[in-house]
Copies of this chain bind each other. A is one copy, B any other.
Amino acid sequence: MGRNKSAMLELAVLGLLHRTPMHGYELRKQITNVLGLFRALSYGSLYPCLHELLAAGLIAEEHDETGPAGPARAASSTRPRSGRRSLKVYRLTADGKERLQELLGEGGPAAWEDDGFGVHFAFFGQTRADVRLRILEGRRSRLEERTESIRAALTRTRERVDSYTLELHRHGLESVEREVRWLNELIASERQVASVPQVASERPADGQANPSDKEST
């Protein structure tokens, strides 16, 4: 089949469209800003991906008659766009929902690598509890490997590199250790919930899993 379609981009698109239908333009903003997964996803990769998903029947497009959803839209003209140009709103099809569940159910190594973890975590609300736990634990061991690697580098090269390189490693190590602590909290929280298991297909977890009781401030 098609050419592109990196698994992560596909997952992000299907996952976001599962929440609410939207334009490609809005999808890109969400993927870039809200998920923060791709630093700045370009249209050059998003639109072709959308066309492929459409061809595969995983998403459907509808022509938007309401015009762009600008900030002050409600106040001014209700005049329809009269279809001068193609404004498309994409939504998830039944096949698309199936595919999304399939992707979320895999829970393999791709789900805990740097590029995959964020996307998978963002859609934990639709992910089975056992898969969630597996992904969190996979991510933790991945980061623990990195901890060891930096620690080793730090011991090996101590005194042989300048203070800036040392500081970079020190800060990197602390960042990774901090993320491991965060994962430990999440895993503990998941294990508590695990005593009351739930089905993935019907109204999956929202408000039940309450990771970390710290107030934000």
Residues of B within 8 A of A123 (CB): 164
Compute how far the CA of A44 lies from the CA of B125 in the bound complex, rounded to whole angstroms: 39
Chain B residue at minimal CB-CB distance from A156: B34
B167 touches A212 (CB 8 A): yes
Residues of B within 8 A of A122 (CB): 164-165, 168
Interface of A, secondary structure class, is helix
Q: Which of A176-217 contact B (CB under 8 A)?
A: 178-179, 182, 186, 205-207, 209-212, 216
B36 touches A162 (CB 8 A): no
Known: A114-B39, A153-B34. A216 touches B164 (CB 8 A): no
Residues of B within 8 A of A150 (CB): 36
The size bracket of the interface on A is 35 or more
Chain B residue at minimal CB-CB distance from A19: B161
Residues of B within 8 A of A170 (CB): 216
A163 touches B207 (CB 8 A): yes
A211 touches B165 (CB 8 A): no
A163 touches B211 (CB 8 A): yes
